[in-house]
């Protein structure tokens, strides 16, 4: 962990480079530093998944376009970061603000031409009852002193 799951309206596939947004969000996670200067998230644990919503309703759907499947000028991006316990409130806020800024920059042109909703939500695993992991990625990024 951390994992970002991004849901977005499928019409954005033709309007924005969602793979580039995934890469930018991953880079943003990797650039985050805690109060002591240490990297907040382990490189080998960073994951970003993006899913276009095959079916969705956005706002009023655009009254004139309701029968055609909604208004193609309406869109949304929902970004949910889930991280393990133990990070400070300051880190939560700093990471959330950084993700919002990254997504805003990436989607700025769309905000000027379309009606778009962008949400970033940060969740911490508070009631986790199982956390099984197996990874051969982490050793690739560990430094040996």
Structural domains of the chain, count? 1
The reply to whether 36 falls in a domain is yes
The reply to whether 50 falls in a domain is no
The reply to whether 17 falls in a domain is no
Structural domain for 106, as ranges: 23-44+91-111
Distance of CA 53 to the CA centre of its chain: 15
What are 47's two structure tokens? 């994951």
pLDDT at residue 140 above 90? no
Range of weakest confidence among 28-32, 61-65, 83-87? 61-65
pLDDT band at residue 128 using 50, 70 and 90 as cut-offs: low
3-state DSSP assignment of residue 51? strand
CB 109 within 8 A of CB 20: no
The reply to whether 119 falls in a domain is no
The reply to whether 101 falls in a domain is yes
Between 25 and 114, the more confident residue is 25
The reply to whether 104 falls in a domain is yes
CB 73 within 8 A of CB 111: no
pLDDT band at residue 64 using 50, 70 and 90 as cut-offs: very low
Q: Which of 51, 63, 61 lies closest to 115 in space, CA to CA?
A: 61
pTM: predicted TM-score of the whole model, two decimal places: 0.85
Sign of CA dihedral 88, 90, 94, 96: positive
């Amino acid at each position: 962990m951390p994992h970002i799951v991004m849901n977005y309206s499928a019409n954005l596939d033709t309007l924005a480079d969602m793979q580039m947004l995934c890469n930018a969000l991953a880079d943003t996670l990797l650039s985050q530093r805690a109060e002591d200067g240490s990297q907040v998230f382990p490189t080998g644990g960073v994951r970003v998944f993006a899913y276009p919503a095959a079916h969705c309703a956005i706002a009023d759907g655009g009254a004139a376009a309701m029968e055609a499947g909604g208004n193609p000028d309406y869109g949304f991006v929902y970004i949910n970061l889930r991280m393990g316990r133990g990070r400070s409130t300051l880190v939560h806020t700093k990471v959330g603000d950084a993700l919002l800024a990254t997504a805003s920059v990436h989607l700025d042109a769309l905000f000027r031409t379309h009606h778009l909703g962008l949400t970033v939500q940060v969740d911490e695993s508070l009631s986790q009852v199982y956390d099984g992991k197996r990874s051969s990625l982490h050793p690739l990024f560990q430094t040996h002193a």
